[in-house]
Homo-oligomer: A and B are copies of this chain.
Amino acid sequence: MLEELKQRVYEANMLLPKYGLVTFTWGNVSEIDRESGLFAIKPSGVDYDKLTPEDMVIVDLNGNKVEGKYNPSSDTATHVELYKAFPEIGGIVHTHSSYATSWAQAGRGIPCYGTTHADYIYGEVPCLRCLTKEEIEEAYEENTGHLIVNEFKAMNKDPKAVPAVLCKNHGPFAWGKDAHEAVHNAVVLEEVAKMAYRAETINQRIQPAPQELQDKHYYRKHGANAYYGQNGGK
Inter-chain contact B130/A213, CB cutoff 8 Å: yes
Distance A227 CA – B45 CA, assembled complex (angstroms): 10
CB of A152 within 8 Å of the partner chain: no
Given A71-B229, A170-B213, 5 further pairs, Cβ under 8 A: A71-B230, A103-B202, A106-B198, A136-B213, A197-B201
How many copies of the polypeptide does the oligomer hold?
A: 4
B200 touches A202 (CB 8 A): yes
A37 CB → nearest B CB, Å: 22
| Bound-state Cα–Cα, A230 to B209, Å | 45
Q: When the two chains form their complex, are residues A114 and B169 in contact, meaning their CB atoms are under 8 A apart?
A: yes
CB of A115 closer than 8 Å to a CB of B: yes
**A106-145 interface code vs B (CB 8 A; 1 in, 0 out):** 1110000111100000000000001101001100100000
Of the listed stretches A81-89, A153-161, A187-195, chain B binds A187-195
From the candidates B45, B70, B114, name the one contacting A104 in the complex (CB within 8 A).
B114
Residue among B101, B194, B206 making CB contact with A116, cutoff 8 Å = B101
How far in angstroms is the closest Cβ of chain B from A149?
20
- Kindly identify which residue among B106, B171, B213, B232 contacts A202, using a CB–CB cutoff of 8 Å: B106
| Residues from chain B with Cβ under 8 Å of A202 in the complex | 102-103, 106, 108, 197, 200
Contact A191 B98 (CB under 8 A): yes
